[in-house]
């Protein structure tokens, strides 16, 4: 059948529709994409969001759950350097702490950390009284001694025998002075700061008839001193023991014994022995620490009751 002119126009119109519609759709989609892509602020917002995410992953903490919006927790506002490694702490101007010292070294500890009531470099005021020291023995259980320059420390500053063996420089108001070693306790009502001196030591400061004088005193670390000795108390065995340190230059702060589980710190008695009631560590290696933090490790001390066993060790002078 011969195509009429009207049919030919209709066929060309349908063809244009078939070709033009997809092109129009593609063009419309492209225009929409261009409008969105070049909308003002689109790239800036995307970049800011990316930067914020990166910052959050390297040091900006998320507020804890339950925190009010707009109020950051301390963790959220803390600078990353505050929890950084020692090298970062150095960058921030803080000196890193020293590593722990070994058992035979001298840690850089201050007297304040271990000294207790009687502290190095501190002057004390009180009164000096006098008593008959007899054989030189006393509450510290050192035993009889020819050393007559001794004193009894008041109950408070005696501090469960922590003052035992300390060397103290005592000075009277007129400038007279004497150095004594603490071997005894002056019980209550002796007041804090009070020293009860042997008659010989008191005579270096004032006439014995004075009986009681105001004094100042301070702890010493003497230059001349023998080496340290260790003694097990009478009745000690591998099931129960009490250990004493003798001849130490500086006051003893701690005594530890080595056991199968490691170092064990022993409690101190008011008669100046360190007690292991269950026997753990008795006869083993001993570690002694003075108030300055110096540790001395002593081996080869067997359980020999009431026997003074010398060592070749002594605390450093301060």
Going residue by residue through the chain, which has 318 residues, state the pLDDT in tens, using 9 for 90 and above. 455 555 556 656 554 544 454 444 444 444 444 433 444 443 333 333 333 333 333 332 323 333 333 333 333 322 222 223 333 333 333 233 333 333 343 443 444 479 999 999 999 999 999 999 999 999 999 999 999 999 999 999 999 999 999 999 999 999 999 999 999 999 999 999 999 999 999 999 999 999 999 999 999 999 977 999 999 999 999 999 999 999 999 999 999 999 999 999 999 999 999 999 999 999 999 999 999 999 999 999 999 999 999 999 999 999
Torsion-angle region of 309 (φ positive above 0: left; ψ -120 to 50: alpha; else: beta):
beta
What is the spatial distance between Cα 60 and Cα 77, in angstroms, rounded to a whole number? 7
The token pair that represents 129 in the structure block: 């009284």
Q: Is residue 205 within 8 Å of 175, Cβ to Cβ?
A: no
Number of helices (H), then strands (E), in the chain:
6, 14
Q: Would you state the pLDDT for residue 224?
A: 78
pTM higher than 0.85: no
| pLDDT value at residue 50 | 34
Place of tokens 């989609």: 29
- Say if CB 191 and CB 213 are below 8 A apart: no
d(CA 288, CA 77): 46
Closest by CA to 255, choosing from 233, 223, 222, 226, is: 233
């Amino acid at each position: 059948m011969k195509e009429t002119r009207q049919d030919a126009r209709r066929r060309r119109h349908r063809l244009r529709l078939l070709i033009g519609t997809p092109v129009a759709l593609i063009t419309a989609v492209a225009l929409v994409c261009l409008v969105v892509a070049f909308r003002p602020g689109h790239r800036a917002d995307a970049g800011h969001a990316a930067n914020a995410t990166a910052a959050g992953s390297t040091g900006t903490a998320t507020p804890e759950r339950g925190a009010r919006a707009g109020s950051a927790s301390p963790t959220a506002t803390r600078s990353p350097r505050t929890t950084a490694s020692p090298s970062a702490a150095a960058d921030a101007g803080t000196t890193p702490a020293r590593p722990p010292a070994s058992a035979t070294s001298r840690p850089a500890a201050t007297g304040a950390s271990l000294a207790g009531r009687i502290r190095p470099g501190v002057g004390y005021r009180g009164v000096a009284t006098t008593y008959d020291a007899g054989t030189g023995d006393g509450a510290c259980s050192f035993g009889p001694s020819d050393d007559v320059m001794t004193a009894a420390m008041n109950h408070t500053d005696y501090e469960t025998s922590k003052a035992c063996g300390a060397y103290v420089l005592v000075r009277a108001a007129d400038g007279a002075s004497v150095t004594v070693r603490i071997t005894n306790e002056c019980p209550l009502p002796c007041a804090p700061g009070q020293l009860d001196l042997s008659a010989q030591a008191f005579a270096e400061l004032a006439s014995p008839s004075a009986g009681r004088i105001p004094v100042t005193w301070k702890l010493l670390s003497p230059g001349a001193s023998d080496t340290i000795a260790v003694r097990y108390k009478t009745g000690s065995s591998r099931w129960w023991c009490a250990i004493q340190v003798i001849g130490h230059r500086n006051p003893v702060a701690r005594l530890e014994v080595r056991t199968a589980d490691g170092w064990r710190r022993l409690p101190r008695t008011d008669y100046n022995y360190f007690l292991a009631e269950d026997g753990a560590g008795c006869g083993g290696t001993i570690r002694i620490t003075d108030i300055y933090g110096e540790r001395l490790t002593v081996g080869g001390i067997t359980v020999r009751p009431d026997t003074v066993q010398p060592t070749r060790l002594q605390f450093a002078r301060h």
